[in-house]
Amino acid sequence: MARQQTPADDKMVPVTILTGFLGSGKTTLLNRILKEDHGHRIAVIENEFGEVGVDNEIIETGDEQIVEMNNGCICCTVRGDLIRILGDLKSKRDTGALKFDRVVIETTGMADPGPVAQTFFTDEEIGNYYLLDSIITVVDAKHAPKQLDDFHEAQEQVGFADRILLSKTDLAKEEETELLIKRIKKMNPRAPITKVHFGDTPLDEVLDIRGFNLNAILSLEPDFLTDVAHQHHDQVESFVFRSEKPFDGAKLEQFLSGMIQVYGPDLLRYKGVLWMKGNPRRVVFQGVHMMMGGDMGKPWEKSAKKQSVLVFIGKQLPKDLFIAGLEECLAK
C-alpha cells in the first residue's frame, strides 16, 4: 500500500475543501470565514467562475490575483493548475511574502471534488507540505432532492464528504428534510450532518476536524440506515463490511489492489479500521478512487473487542463481490 499523509508533522498546512452544488450556500459560508475576525490566517483558493464571486470588491473573477484582507485572510482566484497555485502559495509563505496557517479551497458548484482531493496524494511536494484536513459539503435542503436525482456531481459531493452542512432548512418542510437526511445517510453513513443557517456555522465544525486524517480515526461505527423510503435509486451508495476475525495482510492487499484496478474510478471513498493477524495495533486504512494507503492506529487494548469495519462509498459497486472477496481474505 502507498504511504499516505499522517499528522506526525505539525508543520504541515491543513487544507479544507469546501464543496456543494450550485446555490447551496457554500459561498455564504466562505464569505463569513473571510469577513469574521477569527484570528486564523487563511488562504482561500476560489474557483467559482460563472457564478457570483465571494465578494466583487475583493475578487474580480477572471483575473488571478492574491489579496490580503484585514482579518488575515488571503484570497486568490484560480486559473490553471491547482498544484501550481498551491506551489506558488508555498513559495510565498516560505519566503515570508505571505503569511497564512491554513488553506480553504472552494470548488465550483458543478465540480466533482475527487480530483481536488487527489492532488494531495499525486504530487509529493504538495503532499508533504499540505495536510488534507477534510471535505466539507454544503447541501441545500430545499433543492437537494431534485439535484441528487438529476446530477451525478451532486451525488459525488455527498459521497466524498467528511462533514455535511445542511442549509436552507427553513425553506423546506420538516418531513422533507428528514427524508433528505435519511437519503444522505444511506449514501454516506460516515459524514456527520449539521443544520446551518446563512453560513452561521462554528468554525470548529469546519476547520481542524481531521476527517481525512488516518491516525485520528480510532474507531468507525457508522449508523447504517436501512429501509429508507424513497422512489429513486441513487448512483452513489455505500455499504459496510464487518468481521470479528483478523485479516491476512497479504491476501487483503492483493484483493483490494485488484478491485481498485477494476472499480477505482467508481470508488469515491473507502475507509476502515482493520484487525490484522499478528499485529498488536489497529491498522487505519483509506483510499480515494485508485489511491489507497494504510497507517498504524492505536494498540488494541486487552479489554477491546477486536474487529474490522470498512465503509465503501461509490457508484453502483458490486457489493456482493466485495463482501465475498473480503471474507476470503480473513485469516484461517
Strand 308-315 relative to strand 236-243, pairing = antiparallel
- DSSP H/E element including 296: strand 291-299
The answer to whether 308 touches 248, Cβ cutoff 8 Å, is no
Is domain 236-328 annotated with CATH 1.10.10.10? no
3-state secondary structure 41-87: CEEEEECCCCCCCCCCCCCCCCCCCEEECCCCCEEEECCCCHHHHHH
Integer Cα distance of 6 and 74 in angstroms: 26
Integer Cα distance of 121 and 132 in angstroms: 9
pLDDT at position 328 is 95
C-alpha distances out from residue 13 to 27, 130, 155, 196, Å: 22, 5, 29, 27
Per-residue pLDDT of the chain (332 residues; tens, 9 = 90+): 333 444 445 689 999 999 998 778 887 788 777 777 777 788 888 764 433 334 433 333 344 556 666 666 676 665 557 888 899 899 999 999 888 889 999 887 777 787 788 788 778 888 889 988 899 999 999 889 988 988 888 988 998 888 999 998 888 899 999 999 999 998 888 789 999 876 677 777 777 777 664 333 333 333 322 333 333 455 677 788 999 999 999 999 999 999 988 888 888 778 788 999 999 998 888 776 777 777 787 888 888 889 998 888 787 889 999 999 999 999 98
pTM attached to this predicted model: 0.65
Q: Give the residue extent of every domain in the chain.
A: 13-205, 236-328
Neighbours of 265 (CB within 10 A): 12
Would the CATH topology of 13-205 be identical to that of 236-328?
no
Instruction: Please classify residue 123 by burial: count the beta carbons closer than 10 Å to its beta carbon, then call 0-12 exposed, 13-18 middle and 19+ buried.
Output: middle
**Residues 63-75 pLDDT 10s:** 455 666 666 667 6
Q: Looking at the domain that runs over 13-205, which CATH code has it been given?
A: 3.40.50.300
Sign of the CA dihedral running 168, 169, 171, 176: positive
